């Protein structure tokens, strides 16, 4: 009974159901102007309202930087140093990313593209910038001496010192190979006799490259590069001095049976030929033929040469033994 | 008392000789690093070295970044007047690991990782020490993320004096003199 007194008159107010229907049909302005007392209840975020709010917010922002940049700007001033990719600063329509259907879909654009931001960009190193920076650095460079050809360099500076430097991202600055020093010495620059050279090659072993006739000495036993370099030079000095020395027991070591190559002078073959009393050049040619036969092995050419030399030595007619 | 002793120790340890040793091993004087310093005529200048070749070996995880960086290296060499030799690509290396996913048991469930390394080697010929230092400082400052560089310097030096003649000759010269 009491509640009936507070009920408004039905005729004055439009029914609640009618109001709701009007709101759902999407005429908020009409609904508002229709009844200033009772605005339609709008709980949900309706798409139009949200979009309008977003557009209003976007309109208040200035346009992105790449639309405001002049066409004749210096790109080196815009991007002077390495920097993470920023889409609004770069006036390029870039796309990067994976798509499942490349024929139907375009790769993702540059805005909010994590792949484009992760990868290192070279926007700070465009060709004009590189040229400008190199022009500024050129005064710290010195030219290669004129007239210093490779041959001249081998004459004047035969020693080659090889060192390594490392640049990497790591918890530690140090690299174990940075202290290693290699020394390359061509044997032609050292004053060596035959026996000296033989002794040096035996001492050095497989550090000698027979093709280039270069010895490579690698030092890594010391903790510092400077120490390893000094040790390598010391090693070279010791090798050279030792190969020039002659120990008393070395004379007994090298008998004829130990020789790697046949030597005509002082051999039993020479002693056997001497009593024949042939001319010196005939004996020499026979000596050369025997040397070749021993050192190079039996071959068509070596055997033919030996036959020719023997025929000349013994004074036999030409057709003897000829095939 | 102990504080005074520490300071004395410190000054004796870091003597001029030690400091120079530490400096010459890795630290370069400002002039060699490309900074403008007024030339001091009283300071002893080390003579310029000669490098017959410089080999830059680059290792990277991304081949596109490596390509771009090599292009930059070649352009910088051209502008600074550095002669480039060979440029070659050693074969790439993929390191693959198959590890157990779980800390304990479940050996049938594994997780796989892969690290890809790409290589490039660039050879530079006939450089002086100043040029090499300038070029390397510039390119190393511009080294991007994900790339490592190894520089092999082949310096050319003259034979030490004591090796220029045989030891017995030098002895006889010494004795006669």
Phi, psi of B65 (to 5 degrees): -65, -40
CA distance A62 to A210: 74
- Give A144→chain B minimum CA distance, Å: 6
Nearest beta carbon to residue B81 from set A141, A166, A190: A141
Q: Tell me, what's the pLDDT at B171? A: 65
B89-105 pLDDT, tens per residue? 999 999 999 999 999 99
Between A39 and B62, the higher pLDDT residue: B62
- Residue B79 half-sphere exposure, CB side, CA atoms within 13 Å? 22
Contact residues, B window 135-164, toward A, CB-based 8 Å cutoff: 135, 138, 140, 142-146, 148-160, 162-164
pLDDT at A233 over 60: yes
Instruction: Calculate mean pLDDT across residues A32-57.
Output: 80
Q: DSSP strand E in A150-294: where?
A: 159-167, 181-186, 208-209, 214-219
Share of chain B above pLDDT 70, in %: 72
B23-75 pLDDT, tens per residue? 445 667 766 776 666 666 666 678 899 999 999 999 999 999 999 999 999 99
pLDDT at A322 over 50: yes
Check if A136 contacts B (Cβ < 8 Å): no
A42-56, A97-111, B19-33, B157-171: which is most confident: A97-111
pLDDT at A129 over 60: yes
Instruction: Calculate mean pLDDT across residues B81-88.
Output: 97
Angle at A143 between CA A142 and CA A145, to 5 degrees: 120
Mean model confidence pLDDT for chain A: 87
Q: Tell me, what's the pLDDT at B17? A: 47
Between B30 and A150, the higher pLDDT residue: A150
CA distance B111 to A276: 89
CA distance B130 to B128: 6
Q: Tell me, what's the pLDDT at A278? A: 82
Q: Tell me, what's the pLDDT at A302? A: 92
| B167/A130 Cβ within 8 A | no
CA distance B136 to B71: 15
pLDDT at A116 over 80: yes
Q: Tell me, what's the pLDDT at B4? A: 39
Between B8 and A161, the higher pLDDT residue: A161
- Give A89→chain B minimum CA distance, Å: 20
Sort out which chain B residues have CB atoms less than 8 A from A139's CB and list them.
none
Q: For residue A236, what pLDDT band results from cuts at 50, 70 and 90?
A: very high
Mean model confidence pLDDT for chain B: 84
Q: State the burial class of residue B72 (Cβ atoms within 10 Å of its Cβ: 0-12, 13-18, 19+).
A: buried
| A119/B159 Cβ within 8 A | no
Q: For residue A31, what pLDDT band results from cuts at 50, 70 and 90?
A: very low
A276-318 pLDDT, tens per residue? 888 889 999 999 999 999 999 899 999 999 999 999 888 888 7
CA A57, chain centre distance (Å): 51
Q: Tell me, what's the pLDDT at B172? A: 63
Residue identified by tokens 């975020």 is A45
Q: Is-contact B137 B152, C-beta < 8 A? A: no
Q: Tell me, what's the pLDDT at A223? A: 96
Q: Which residues of A62-81 are buried (b: 16+ CB within 10 A; e: fewer)?
A: eeeebeeeeeeeeebeebee
């Amino acid at each position: 009974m009491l509640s009936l007194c507070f009920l408004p008159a039905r005729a004055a107010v439009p029914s609640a159901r009618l109001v709701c229907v009007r709101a759902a049909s999407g005429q908020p302005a009409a609904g508002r102007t229709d009844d200033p007392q009772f605005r339609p209840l709008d709980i949900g975020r309706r798409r139009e309202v949200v979009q309008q709010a977003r557009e209003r917010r976007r309109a208040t922002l200035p346009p992105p930087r790449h639309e405001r940049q002049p066409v004749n700007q210096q790109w080196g001033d815009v991007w002077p140093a390495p920097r993470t990719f920023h889409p609004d600063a770069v006036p390029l329509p870039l796309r990067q990313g994976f798509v499942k259907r490349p024929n139907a879909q375009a790769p993702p654009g540059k805005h909010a593209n994590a792949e484009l931001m992760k990868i290192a960009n070279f926007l700070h190193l465009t060709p004009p910038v590189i040229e400008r920076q190199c022009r500024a650095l050129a005064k710290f460079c010195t030219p290669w001496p004129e007239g210093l050809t490779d041959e001249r360099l081998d004459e004047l500076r035969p020693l080659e010192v090889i060192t390594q430097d490392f640049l990497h991202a790591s918890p530690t600055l140090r690299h174990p190979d940075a202290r290693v020093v290699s020394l390359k010495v061509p044997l032609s620059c050292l004053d060596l006799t035959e026996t000296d050279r033989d002794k040096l090659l035996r001492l050095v072993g497989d550090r000698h490259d027979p093709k280039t006739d270069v010895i490579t000495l690698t030092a890594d036993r010391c903790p510092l590069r400077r120490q390893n370099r000094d040790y390598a030079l010391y090693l070279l000095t010791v090798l050279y001095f030792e190969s020039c020395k002659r120990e008393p027991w070395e004379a007994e070591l090298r008998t004829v049976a130990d020789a790697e190559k046949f030597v005509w002078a002082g051999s039993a073959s020479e002693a056997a030929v001497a009593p024949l009393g042939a001319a010196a050049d005939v004996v020499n040619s026979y000596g050369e033929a025997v040397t070749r036969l021993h050192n190079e092995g039996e071959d068509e050419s070596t055997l033919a040469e030996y036959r020719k030399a023997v025929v000349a030595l013994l004074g036999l007619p030409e057709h003897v033994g000829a095939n | 008392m102990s504080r005074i002793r520490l300071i004395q120790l410190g000054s004796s340890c870091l003597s001029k000789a030690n400091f120079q040793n530490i400096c010459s091993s890795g630290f370069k004087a400002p002039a060699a690093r490309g900074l403008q310093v007024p030339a001091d005529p009283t300071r002893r200048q080390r003579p310029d070295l000669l490098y017959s070749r410089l080999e830059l070996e680059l290792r990277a995880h991304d081949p596109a970044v490596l390509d771009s960086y090599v292009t930059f290296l070649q352009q910088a060499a051209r502008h600074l007047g550095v002669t480039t030799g060979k440029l070659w690509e050693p074969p790439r290396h993929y390191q693959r690991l198959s590890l157990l996913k779980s800390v304990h048991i479940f050996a049938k469930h594994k997780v796989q990782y892969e690290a890809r390394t790409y290589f490039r080697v660039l050879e530079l010929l006939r450089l002086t020490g100043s040029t090499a230092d300038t070029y390397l400082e510039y390119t190393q400052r511009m080294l991007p993320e994900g790339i490592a560089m190894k520089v092999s310097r082949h310096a050319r030096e003259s034979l030490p004096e004591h090796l220029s003649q045989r030891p017995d000759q030098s002895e006889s010269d010494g004795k006669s003199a």
